[in-house]
Amino acid sequence: MNFEKPLLFTRPPIWAVFAIAITIVTVSVINTSTIPLFPTQRVVPGDAAARDSGSVASKRSCAGFFRGGAARAVTASIREFGGVGDGRTSNTEAFRRALRALERFGDKGGSRLNVPEGRWVTGSFNLTSNFTLFLERGAVILGSQNEEEWPVIEPLLSYGRGRERLGGRHISLIHGDSLTNVVITGENGTIDGQGRMWWDLWWNRSLEHTRGHQVELKNSHNVLISNLTFINSAAGVRIKTDKG
């Protein structure tokens, strides 16, 4: 007697074979596609990348050009020289006295002048070599609104005359010439040039001499400016390693 073969053991239809093959391929693609196309670098705390990425105690600048050294031998506060941070009193003579006093430590380990919290109005003053000007948190240096506190000096060699007027130019608020190893930094203090006065003089055609920069260091080397906010400049910040 002949019996029919059970359907369970019959050859599967062709569409079923294709369905199984597609399923296998799909699972393989899903497993391999979990690898990120643009993996981010993971920095393990304590490794070289973590140590070098945010160290503010480095003796070299982030660009590698500033060569730092030991801490300054002498530290003083602008208050020790009669400074008053009330936003009204002129501190021009206080800053100038401080720099004259600290200049003598240039070859004896250098010096640092701290500017505490407050609003310190001042005219122009000259920095010295091997020196740090440090603005503490909340400290604001305000450019004086008295033209007489911005002396007139010779024009830049590269111009041969004032930019806006013939003859000399007003010295910058913070000035330096032929210096080395100078740092202007702090805890995010502010240098406000209050430059509106100078712009008003320019637009009113009553400006007699070229406006001074907010900071100018010329013919100077190994200079670092960091962790500060500069606002309301009369003529920007100028750093040059040659005389002009």
| Tokens read off for 174 | 């913070």
Domains of the chain: 58-239 (2.160.20.10)
Give 11-62 pLDDT, tens digit per residue. 556 655 555 555 554 444 434 333 333 333 333 333 333 333 333 334 555 4
How many other C-beta atoms lie within 10 A of the C-beta of residue 97? 17
Q: Does the pLDDT value for residue 140 go beyond 90?
A: yes
pLDDT at res. 86: 98
Give every CB contact of residue 181 below 8 A, 6+ residues apart in sequence. 67, 69, 110, 129, 130, 131, 222
- Give the residues across from 114 on adjacent strands: 77, 134
pLDDT at res. 208: 65
64: confidence class by pLDDT, cuts 50, 70, 90 = low
- The reported pTM is 0.68
- How far apart (Å, rounded) are the C-alpha atoms in residues 224 and 62? 10
pLDDT at res. 134: 98
Which stretches of the chain are DSSP H helices?
14-32, 48-53, 92-102, 196-203
More confident residue, 164 or 95: 95
The mean pLDDT of the chain is 74
CB 146 within 8 A of CB 119: no
pLDDT (mean) for 139-152? 85
